[in-house]
Amino acid sequence: MAAIRAFFSRLLFAAYVVGFTSLPLALLLGTTGAIAGAIAAGVFLLALRYHGSRRIAKLLKVELLTVAQGPYWPGLVGEYCRRLRIRVPQLGVVQTDSVNVGTFGFRPEKGWVIVTQGALDRLNRAELSSLIARELTLWKQGEVASLTWLALFLSTLDNWVEPRRDHVRARQRRSQPVRVFLRQVLLYPLTLVPCTLLRSHTRESHLDTDTVALCGSRRSLAEALRKIDAYSERTVLRVPTCLHHLFLKAPSSPDPMANLFFSSSTLAERIRYLEELPLSNFNLGSGRLTQTPAEQG
């Protein structure tokens, strides 16, 4: 059900792009303008999709996780993917002291599950395994492709407002007030509908429950979330704002408007939920717990 919902959210996003592009041209040129706008929207979506995962990996400076960094991870991820019946994604690492994990891509076999160097250094094997299980469960829910489309869309708009090319940096410094105005007035209204459609709609409690069913340890997941929450203020994850939602805990942003879309709230409620879960049999994919007869009595 979650995968079907995510698929339809992507269809609605495509319809939004087509409508936003076609409507002004249709009002000016009639049917010809509507057709031209639809074609332009299709080209735009194809351009977003083309090597999209590679562009995100470049923005995050993702490096392939080597066997020397974790010889047991390929086997563990392969086993998790076998249970979930999905293809095995690539494992990557982002060189930062922050503790976090994330995932992106359009298909598992071409996508990434990424961990930060801080997570590798500060989490034990069970805690990191539970976080990787959480990201793989998100793949099973069908939400990762939607999050990736959103990241690419936001990145494109952000580039229009604030290009990253070296030869315009001096001009950017002089035009800072103009760029802030454009970001607040143009960028955020344009992103309201895509953010609503493409953000994950799976309840975090259901996702955590399915994660525990996969990795078999609620305590490890709770402790991992606690460490992510504790280290988030000490070592801030420095990534472009358009990529914040790809991570388990969205990094805080100096832009207050950005925090409206990418909440960096505490993980305390999720930790409390995990700690209060009964010792029960878990049904993977159901988002619910099945109590044993002893507990029911």
| Segment 222-273, tens digit of pLDDT | 999 999 998 887 888 888 888 989 999 888 766 655 666 665 557 888 888 8
Q: Which amino acid is at 241?
A: T
Residue ranges in the chain whose pLDDT is less than 70:
160-186, 253-265, 279-297
Q: Note the pLDDT of residue 258.
A: 62
Four-residue CA torsion sign, 269, 270, 275, 278: positive
The tokens 């069970």 sit on which residue?
Answer: 126
Specify the domain boundaries for CATH 3.30.2010.10 within the chain.
57-143+201-296
Q: What pTM was computed for the model?
A: 0.85
Q: Note the pLDDT of residue 85.
A: 94
In this structure, which topology does domain 57-143+201-296 adopt according to CATH?
Zincin-like (3.30.2010)
Q: What gap in Å lies between CA 297 and CA 293, rounded to an integer? A: 6
Q: Note the pLDDT of residue 164.
A: 54
Q: Note the pLDDT of residue 74.
A: 86
Instruction: Name, in order, each residue with C-beta under 8 angstroms of 273's C-beta and a sequence gap of 6 or more.
Output: 205, 208
